[in-house]
Amino acid sequence: MSKGRVEAFSDGVFAVAITLLIFNIQVDKAAPGELFNALMAAWPKYAAYVASFLTIGVMLMNHHGLFTRIAHLNRPLLFLNLLLLMAIVFLPFPTAQLGANILVPQDAPTAASFYAASAVLIAVFFSAFWAYLFTHPDLLSPDVDREAVLRSWPRFSIGLIAYLICVPLGQVSPIGVIIVCAAMAIYYAFERLPDISRRPADALRRPE
Q: What residues line the site for a second copy (CB under 8 A)?
A: 1-2, 5, 7-9, 11-23, 25-27, 29, 32-36, 39, 49-50, 53-54, 57-58, 60-61, 64-65, 68, 75-76, 78-79, 82, 85-86, 89-90, 92-93, 97, 101, 104-107, 110-111, 114, 186, 189-190, 194, 197
For the bound state, the minimum distance from the C-beta of residue 205 to a second copy, rounded and expressed in Å, comes to 8
For the bound state, the minimum distance from the C-beta of residue 90 to a second copy, rounded and expressed in Å, comes to 6
* Residue 110 vs 127, nearer CB to a second copy: 110
Q: What is the DSSP string of the chain?
A: --HHHHHHHHHHHHHHHHHHGGGG------STT-HHHHHHHTHHHHHHHHHHHHHHHHHHHHHHHHHTTBS---HHHHHHHHHHHHHHHHTHHHHHHHHHHTT-TTTHHHHHHHHHHHHHHHHHHHHHHHHHHHT-GGGB-TT--HHHHHHHHHHHTHHHHHHHHHHHHHHH-HHHHHHHHHHHHHHHHHTHHHHHHHHHHHHHHTT-
* Residue 15 vs 131, nearer CB to a second copy: 15
For the bound state, the minimum distance from the C-beta of residue 91 to a second copy, rounded and expressed in Å, comes to 8
* Residue 57 vs 176, nearer CB to a second copy: 57
For the bound state, the minimum distance from the C-beta of residue 88 to a second copy, rounded and expressed in Å, comes to 9
For the bound state, the minimum distance from the C-beta of residue 122 to a second copy, rounded and expressed in Å, comes to 14
